[in-house]
Amino acid sequence: MNNANLLGPWIRRFLLEHVQERNLARNTQQSYRDTLVQLVPFVVQKIRRPVERLEVTDVTPEIVRLFLVDIETTRGCVPATRNQRLATIHALARHIGLNSPEHIEWCGQIRSIPFKRVARPLVSYLEKPEMEGLLKAPDRRTKQGQRDYALLLFLYNTGARADEAAHVRVADVNLGRVPERDFSSVLIRGKGNKKRLCPLWSHTALTLVSLINDRAQSEHVFLNRRGRPITRFGIHEMIERYVKSLRENMPSLTTKRVSPHTIRHTSATHLLRAGVDINTIRGWLGHVSLATTNIYAEIDLEMKAEALRHCEVKDPKPRKPPKHWKEDAEIMAFLRRL
């Protein structure tokens, strides 16, 4: 059997050359891996052939379509997840097609499988009182509460993703000599290891001073209760816990699913309301495309209402009909004096 036709070596090349050499984000690498871990056994089951003998063309368009249906029906995944899995298969087919001319036709057939149309969900964010309530939730008299407060404040200040905040190290934080006066910033590593500098409020800087004082430069800023680096899942769990405790006294939170990304949306929306231009917000959040940032200009109902008030057509006061000359007291008095 021709080794160029075997699927296994191509998957290996794809993961080593396409994924690692392009320095894709960890989450993207894990997504590619998860897709292939699900796809390969599915193909083996359908064609009844040992995994080591699978050929590239065994992954037919019909099997891929059945795999995508299985993801939604058997696994109960949403269409967005189905599209994510298909994107990996498209990337694998493209990699093989670029490096193996005899598989160009197969590549075109696989890449012609369309993505499912998915309605873009409304972006959720917190109003100012809700965000302030969340920041007040941790008990700052305890060490754990101080860490939680610092993490919530950091997320709100920077608009960082959960994974980005989890990987910030002490060396990434540049605190001013006098935080209340001097400029402070943090280096954030985003998707694809893209780096961006984000300014820190003086209050955030002062809060981080007490958190990272006398810590090694190589250590992570935010640690869990066991002194290990907190994970993005730990950040999700922390936020959900505080939001749950707030819902009784803040009914507006009962209709919102609050996550670290909600705080990211909140940061962008509040920056927009404060008059920060959209291009600055794009750099602040680490968006590659300005179109991604423009969603915040679309969702802010408060700014829409304010704009509406400025251009609203006022209903003119109705003019009183002029009085008949016989009803005008001054004119009648004048006429009687003649």
Task: Show which residues are catalytic.
Answer: 161, 191, 261, 264, 287, 296
**Tokens 């500098």, residue?**
197
Structure tokens at 118: 């998915």
Residues 6+ apart with CB under 8 A from 21: none
DSSP structure class, residue 187: E
Structure tokens at 21: 């050499």
Q: Tell me the C-alpha distance between 35 and 64, whole Å.
A: 12
- Which residues pair with residue 229 across a beta bridge? 223
Residue 125, amino acid: Y
Structure tokens at 102: 């005899």
Tally the C-alpha atoms within 13 A of residue 258's C-alpha that lie toward its C-beta: 28
- In this structure, are residues 156 and 217 in contact, taking their beta carbons and an 8 Å threshold? no
